[in-house]
């Protein structure tokens, strides 16, 4: 688990937000948990699971 956190603010269509929140509720996860999962999977897909050991990316 990460030791520090940073805030990510984004704009999204209200209907998509409502649908996303409903889907998260069905999975018994918070929207924040799901977004963190999406980001983690994307980063690992692009940089590999050991991305933290690679140092800063430009």
Q: What is the pLDDT of residues 31-52, one digit of tens each?
A: 999 999 999 999 999 998 888 7
pTM for the model stands at 0.78
29 lies in some domain: yes
21 lies in some domain: yes
Q: What pLDDT score was predicted for residue 55?
A: 62
pLDDT higher at 9 or 54: 9
| Mean of per-residue pLDDT scores for the chain | 90
7 lies in some domain: no
Coil/strand/helix, residue 28 = coil
Q: Over 60: is that where the pLDDT of 21 sits?
A: yes
On whether the CB atoms of residues 31 and 21 are closer than 8 A, the answer is yes
Phi, psi of 11 (to 5 degrees): -105, 140
Provide the pLDDT confidence category of residue 1 given band limits of 50, 70 and 90.
low
Q: Which domain holds residue 21?
A: 14-47
């Amino acid at each position: 688990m990460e030791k520090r956190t940073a805030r990510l603010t984004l704009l999204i269509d209200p209907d998509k937000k409502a649908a996303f929140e409903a889907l998260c509720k069905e999975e018994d996860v918070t929207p924040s948990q799901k977004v963190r999962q999406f980001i983690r999977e994307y980063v690992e897909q692009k940089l590999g699971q050991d991305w933290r050991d690679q140092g800063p990316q430009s």
